[in-house]
């Protein structure tokens, strides 16, 4: 499993616009083949910093999404809202404690 975290810093006045884009597309993203989990997080101290946390079966599934029309449409609406370049991290679980 590939765990993807994308940290996005938005212009404060664009947060509502991003939330609209996310809410319009979240079910399609979660339903995309290979996506096993999707959530949106907010930075504890900076409300204009949001993170997507998703689980993918593997890097092929994530790449298929990133090369899809769905991603292209979401990205086209999201990119102009950024205050800074987003940071993306791909990881896999090493140790889990319950």
Strands in 49-56's sheet, in edge-to-edge order, are 35-42, 49-56, 2-9, 87-91
**pLDDT computed for residue 58 by the predictor:** 97
| Alpha-carbon span 38 to 30, nearest angstrom | 6
pLDDT in tens, the chain (98 residues): 999 999 999 999 999 999 999 999 999 999 999 999 999 999 999 999 999 999 999 999 999 999 999 999 999 999 999 999 999 999 999 999 98
Residue 44 lies in a domain: yes
Domain assignment present for residue 30? The answer is yes
| Range(s) of the domain holding residue 40 | 2-91
Write down the pLDDT at residue 5: 98
CATH number for the domain spanning 60: value is 3.30.70.100
Number of domains in the chain: 1
Is 66 a domain residue? yes
Output the pLDDT for position 88. Answer: 98
């Amino acid at each position: 499993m590939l765990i993807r975290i994308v940290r996005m810093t938005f212009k404060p006045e664009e947060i509502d616009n991003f939330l609209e884009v996310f809410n319009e597309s979240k079910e399609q993203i979660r339903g995309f083949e290979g996506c096993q989990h999707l959530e949106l997080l907010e930075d504890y101290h900076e409300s204009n910093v949001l993170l997507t946390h998703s689980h993918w079966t593997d890097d092929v599934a994530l790449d298929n999404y990133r090369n899809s029309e769905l991603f292209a449409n979401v990205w086209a609406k999201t990119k102009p809202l950024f205050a800074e370049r987003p940071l993306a991290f791909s990881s896999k679980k090493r140790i889990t404690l319950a």
